[in-house]
Amino acid sequence: MIRFAARVLLSLPFVLLGWEAYQEPGRRVQSAEKIGVPEPELAVKVNGLTMVGAGVTLALGIFPRLSALALIGCLVPTTYAGHRFWELDETASRTNQRIHFLKNISMMGGLLAVVAQKQDK
């Protein structure tokens, strides 16, 4: 039961924010363009749907390792494109983006723990 709760809690931001990115790509498109992503709106939408799908399958325990790896694959470009705190001069914005960057890094750690977890038989 604890593993299930942990997977749901870890998955929830991906499902909700991934759906939001798909429905309203908005400023994420500009962030993707800035780092040279081809077809940035499509890339943002595909990334969002991948987060939703992998988040749901992780929460349900369906191929949890593969789901976690897919979410890591989504987080890397999202973190790099969307939370470039090192480029900001204004202290409040820099701090805010640094917090989001570190939050994403910690989520990657949680996902890596799922990947490394011994599977029940």
End-to-end CA distance of the chain: give it in Å, rounded: 16
> Per-residue pLDDT for the chain (121 aa), expressed as one digit of tens each?
898 999 999 999 999 999 999 999 999 999 899 888 999 999 999 999 999 999 999 999 999 999 999 999 999 999 998 898 999 989 999 999 999 999 999 999 999 999 998 766 5
Is the entire prediction scored with pTM above 0.95? no
Q: How far apart are CA 64 and CA 90, in angstroms?
A: 40
Using CA of residue 92, residue 98, residue 101, residue 106, what is the dihedral sign? Answer: negative
Two structure tokens written together for 88 = 């900001």
* C-alpha distance from residue 50 to each of 2, 95, 108 (Å): 25, 28, 16
Two structure tokens written together for 7 = 């997977």
